[in-house]
Amino acid sequence: MTILAVPSGWRTGAITAVTEWHSPSRMTAAGLRLAVHLFLVVCLWHALYAGTTVSAGLTEAQAVTYAVLAVLIVRPRANDRYSARDTVIQHINFGTIVYWFLRPLPARRYYFFRAAGDQVYGLAWALAGYLVCLAAGVLDPPPSAGAALAFAATFALGQAVTYYLLLLTDQLCFWTIKNSSAVDIMMFTQNLLSGAYAALWFFPGWFQALSAALPFQATINVPLSFYVGRLPLSELPGQLALQGFWVLLLAALTRFLWTRAAGRVVAQGG
Amino acid sequence: MRGFLPAWALALRVVGLTFRAQLEYRGEFWMRVALGLAWQTSIIVFATVLLGRFPGMGGWSSDAVLMIAAVRMLGHAFYEVFFGRVGELAVLVQEGRFDAFLLRPLPVYRQVQLSAFPSNALGDLLVGGSLFAWAVWSIELEWAPWQIAYIVAALVGGMLVEAAVFTALSSLHLHFPSAITWSYWTEELMTTFGNYPLKILPGVISGAFTFVVPLAFVAYFPVAVLTGNTAGLGVPVAVAAAAPLIGLAAFAGSRVLWNWSLTRYTGVNG
């Protein structure tokens, strides 16, 4: 990466944030939706625990904290790039994907800056939501400094896994022409197997074993389990190694697919 | 009546053509079927996990709660079959394809519904139907003729309530395609909170799910009447029992709103 690429990368990464910033109504609506959703999720989990104190090794406070944080972590996916007509599938359908391969900035680097910008923008919302919820006493802080550090480390790697999973589904449309269903399936699968709907501790053993063999739980369940203290710190090295394995594997696979994808680009008319 | 049968014959021919068109993208077709399966299955897994961990929600038996989920999901499958394309209206408007509908001698709303074959609904029907059969087999009801007739009416009513909500929202998409994020959010709310007795939530929330987003009329109220769990509904039992009729009225109202919105349609470029 050259020095000149950094400013263009910053500008590319800031596209979503700048677009949203210039649309106050969209930002207000996004904030409203997030606030209402958090409130509803808190109500649901308090109601579920009305008749019990501990379930699947999680207390009511731990479960509510987990559920709130899961909503916040999933927040970056709510960015609407479709309206800006800048999704991979739209570019392939409109034929404009060819420009990605004609610019001085390589396609895979443009994709990285754009996606990373989206994730940072979404996480800024998540951080704001976290601070408000923490101040309001809706969720608890991590039980120890070690748990906080374990959360930070596994969360960072989890975001890398999330990036590569989304990239993989976008790369798919170079071969399938359409990929909206693949993206949706990936979203549901990821939500279910990552523990976004509910902590994986609530699920039966076979389901947890299935999740352990896939990369999805690295994105939400692992970092949040450290945050609420459900996973002991002794598990940290093993979890980091597993997350690192997934990051390396997905990085190698997606890099290989980028080289193949360039050969699949067809300008309008063939 | 003279024009009714030819209109349906024409609609069926268009459905056949859109089916053949989708088969041109064989991979995407099967992925859309899988999408319906994945979507419904993820909801079932989430609901059954919560039912297993937190039995006796709001004083309801697990079988009765399962029936709520089954009616909602099968009603949703019917919605996907007959009305699901309103969810794609924003895309049709943004890409300019909607404008062509205004020039053809068919009702515009019908053309929206005929714009694509609902292949994802095949998966929805498969899973929703299976869950419904399981719920009917599990629940201890005598299944008197009135109960059979009422559950059929409830399924149709649930479909119409969902169609009313998303038709009303799509009347906004005619002018602001980016408002589709509200539809995604509403769908997420209905999916997350539509499978349980709403009485477990605080009054203000269950009230909002009754009078703002009429989720309670989709499955909660009809199943409450059917199973006799009518305490704490928040509305008179007669109103809850009239859920299928209220669904019909809501859909008729949403169509009036949609037609009014259509008269003010100017296209995305003004």
Q: State how far residue A225 is from chain B, nearest Cα, in angstroms.
A: 18
Q: Which of A185, A167, A43, A69 is nearest to A114 (CA)?
A: A167
Handedness of CA A150, A155, A160, A164 (dihedral sign): positive
Q: Which residues pair with A55 in a beta bridge?
A: A58
Q: Could you tell me where the DSSP H helices lie in chain B?
A: 4-23, 26-53, 62-82, 89-94, 98-101, 108-113, 119-138, 145-173, 180-193, 203-211, 220-227, 237-241, 243-263
Q: Which residue type occupies B3?
A: G
Name the more confident of A178 and A41. A41
**pLDDT tens digits along A248-264:** 999 999 999 998 988 88
pLDDT at position B48 is 80
State whether A177 and B181 contact (CB < 8 Å).
Answer: no
Tell me if chain B has a CB within 8 Å of the CB of A28: no
Inter-CA distances, B176 with A19, A206, B84, B207, Å: 16, 45, 19, 28
Residues in chain A closer than 8 A to B25 (CB atoms): 176-178
State whether A181 and B35 contact (CB < 8 Å).
Answer: yes
Structural contact between residues B50 and A201, judged by C-beta atoms closer than 8 angstroms: no
Structural contact between residues B87 and B216, judged by C-beta atoms closer than 8 angstroms: no
pLDDT at position B87 is 87
Look at phi and psi of residue B201 and say left if phi exceeds 0, alpha if psi is from -120 to 50, else beta: beta
In a mutagenesis test of the B interface, which of A39, A45, A52, A185 is the best target, namely the one with the most B β-carbons within 10 Å? Answer: A185
Tokens of A263: 């050969």
How far apart CA A97 and CA B17 sit, in angstroms, is 29
Look at phi and psi of residue A85 and say left if phi exceeds 0, alpha if psi is from -120 to 50, else beta: left
How far apart CA A154 and CA A138 sit, in angstroms, is 23
How far apart CA B93 and CA B41 sit, in angstroms, is 31
Q: State how far residue A121 is from chain B, nearest Cα, in angstroms.
A: 17
Q: For every one of its 270 residues, what pLDDT tens digit does chain B have, with 9 covering 90 and above?
A: 567 788 889 999 999 999 998 888 887 788 888 877 877 787 788 778 888 888 778 888 888 999 999 999 999 999 999 999 998 898 899 888 899 999 988 899 999 999 998 888 888 898 899 999 999 998 988 899 999 999 999 999 999 999 999 999 999 999 888 788 888 889 888 888 888 899 888 888 899 999 999 999 999 999 999 999 998 899 999 999 999 999 999 999 999 999 999 999 987 665
Q: Which residues pair with A59 in a beta bridge?
A: A54
Q: In the 8-state DSSP scheme, what is residue A215?
A: S
- Report the Cα–Cα distance between both ends of chain B, in Å, rounded: 38
How far apart CA B217 and CA A104 sit, in angstroms, is 56
With 0.90 as the threshold, say if the pTM is over it: no
Tokens of B144: 């008197």
User: Cα A136 to chain center, whole Å?
Assistant: 25
Structural contact between residues B127 and B36, judged by C-beta atoms closer than 8 angstroms: yes
Name the more confident of A247 and A11. A247
State whether A189 and B38 contact (CB < 8 Å).
Answer: yes
CB pairs under 8 A between A and B: 100
**pLDDT tens digits along A175-216:** 876 667 777 787 778 888 899 888 999 998 888 999 999 999
State whether B185 and A207 contact (CB < 8 Å).
Answer: no
Structural contact between residues A48 and B50, judged by C-beta atoms closer than 8 angstroms: yes
Nearest CB among B31, B35, B177 relative to A83 is that of B177
Q: Which residue type occupies A33?
A: R
Question: What are the boundaries of each domain within chain B?
Answer: 4-263
State whether A43 and B205 contact (CB < 8 Å).
Answer: yes
The answer to ipTM > 0.90 is no
